[in-house]
Amino acid sequence: MRIQLIVALLISTLVGLGLAPAPSLARGAQGCRFVLGFKTLRDLIPDVAGDCLVDEHHNPADGDGLQETTKGLLVWRKADNWTAFTDGYRTWINGPNGLQVRLNAERFPWERGDPSIEFTNVPPYGSFANLVGRVSYASPADFAVAVYIRVEGGWWSKPYWDSSVTAIRSDGTWTCDITTGGIDEQATEIQAYLIAGSYKPPLMSGGSTLPGALAAFPHASVTRSPTQRRIQFSGYEWSVKSSVSAVEPGPNYFADSADNVWLDGSGQLHLRLTRRAGRWYAAEVVSVRSFGYGRYTFALASPVATLNPNTVLGLFTYSPDPEYGHREMDVEFSRWSDPSTPLNAQFVLQPWNLPGHRHRFSLAPTASSVHSFEWGPDSIAFTSRDGSGAPLEAWSYPSRDVPRPGDEKARMSLWLVDGRAPPDGSEVEVVVRAFTFEPPN
């Protein structure tokens, strides 16, 4: 509550009641008493505050608690939960630093006035830590926080796309988990709004702009710059994935080191599983652009039929939007930790565990190979050929529930099943000769 209001209310109260320093009032002869925070503050400054004139009552306009005394006015400020006393010239506040006194025209650094919100911990790009903040002059009973993150151009409610309300603790702090799915750790913008508790904030699941109605609320925002390394391969720009903790697929730790991802003198892409300081690191690149319908072709310059059973090479599309199974279509090479199986490859439309969504097969050993999938409105056709162009395998997914294009990106990933080390402890390398995309005719 602004001190001008305190002074005005004090003056009007004193004048309206026609107060005089009568001994009977100083002793609280009216039967009033101090309770809770007012008692605590008055006990700290009994000679300053004097005796009560009335019991505590509340201002219907803002909910502040008020109690007139023989020497001034006690106020409990609902907005920030602090208790204060003013004699019309000075103010004593029992605040976050204990009892402090100032002139009415002054302010302590922690006093703000209007409801506000701020971040106290913003996790760095790529981190899975929680977002933490605090509000001022906002009662936890009357306010809440709505958090949104922007990932690859789309806005998402947090902690979940269908739940965007975060409670405020009694001390004004709040915490929100902003990495609950997809590639949330790669969010480049974060917005938090201090909303009325009765307000239902709009839910976002990938829309390109936040609703204008949110602009009416106090907010905090931050932009995080991607620290990802980028490379040019086969005429396209690719981001090199990195993580500070184990993430999907796997989960694995991913490194953007030149030891994990690099281009040789012929322009071929090398992906390598490495072991450093007792930890295994996977490798993945992600196309910067989205391609949509068309033919995706990955030409490999190294054998993949003989990968160790814990290693996976994935050539696929993926979107952070969960619709259509994240628009994920995979060509994968792995024995999935089963060294006895002859099935070392598969074509998949996610979710893989739905009937008819996965075709497993045995890929014949070959020094080089070419793998593609052609994605159209009514079908997805997968093919594998050897380096000479001879067919190795083919499979088509029929017309039912074929994904529609969104913000999916092409990806190439070399990773470990459940993060398990290769059985022989050796590092693994795969060479991709080229990637091509052909739009529909």
pLDDT digits (tens, 9 = 90+) for 328-342: 999 999 999 999 999
DSSP string, 308-341: -TTEEEEEEEE-SS-HHHHH-EEEEE--TT-TT-
Q: What is the pLDDT of residue 277?
A: 85
Question: 229-438: same fold as 116-223?
Answer: no
Q: How many CB atoms lie within 10 A of CB 89?
A: 10
Q: What is the pLDDT of residue 113?
A: 67
Taking residues 116-138, report their average pLDDT.
Answer: 88
Q: What is the pLDDT of residue 79?
A: 67
Which tens digit of pLDDT belongs to each residue from 61-102?
A: 667 889 999 999 999 877 677 899 999 889 999 888 889 999
Query: What kind of fold does domain 116-223 have according to CATH?
Result: Immunoglobulin-like (2.60.40)
List the CATH code of the domain at 229-438.
2.60.120.200
Rounded to whole angstroms, the Cα distance separating 144 from 182 reads 25
Q: Which residues contact 370 (CB under 8 A, 6 or more apart)?
A: 297, 298, 299, 300, 384, 385, 386, 387, 389
Examine the pLDDT at 10 and tell me if it is beyond 60: no
Q: What is the pLDDT of residue 132?
A: 94
- Which of 26-35, 133-142, 383-392, 426-435 comes out lowest in average pLDDT? 26-35
Q: Which two tokens stand for residue 13?
A: 């109260």
Examine the pLDDT at 28 and tell me if it is beyond 60: no
What percent of the chain is predicted at pLDDT more than 70? 91
Rounded to whole angstroms, the Cα distance separating 161 from 178 reads 10
Task: Kindly indicate the confidence band of residue 26, based on its pLDDT and cuts at 50, 70 and 90.
Answer: very low
Residue scoring higher pLDDT (401 or 341): 341
Q: What is the pLDDT of residue 61?
A: 62
Scan for tokens 């000479």, then name that residue.
Answer: 388
Kindly report whether the peptide bond that precedes residue 309 is cis, defined as omega within 30 degrees of 0: no
Consecutive H or E run containing 8: helix 3-17
Which tens digit of pLDDT belongs to each residue from 131-180?
A: 999 998 888 888 999 999 999 889 999 999 888 899 999 888 999 999 99
Q: Which residues contact 212 (CB under 8 A, 6 or more apart)?
A: none
Task: Kindly indicate the confidence band of residue 226, based on its pLDDT and cuts at 50, 70 and 90.
Answer: low
**Mean confidence (pLDDT) of the chain:** 88
Rounded to whole angstroms, the Cα distance separating 123 from 379 reads 41
Residue scoring higher pLDDT (294 or 355): 294
| CB-neighbour burial class of residue 15 (10 A; exposed 0-12, middle 13-18, buried 19+) | exposed
Determine if the pTM surpasses 0.75. no
Give the start-to-end residue ranges of the domains of the chain: 3-103, 116-223, 229-438
Q: Which residues contact 312 (CB under 8 A, 6 or more apart)?
A: 249, 332, 333, 334, 336, 413, 414, 415, 416, 417
Kindly report whether the peptide bond that precedes residue 249 is cis, defined as omega within 30 degrees of 0: yes
Q: What is the pLDDT of residue 164?
A: 85
Largest separation between any pair of C-alpha atoms in the chain: 108
Q: What is the pLDDT of residue 15?
A: 32
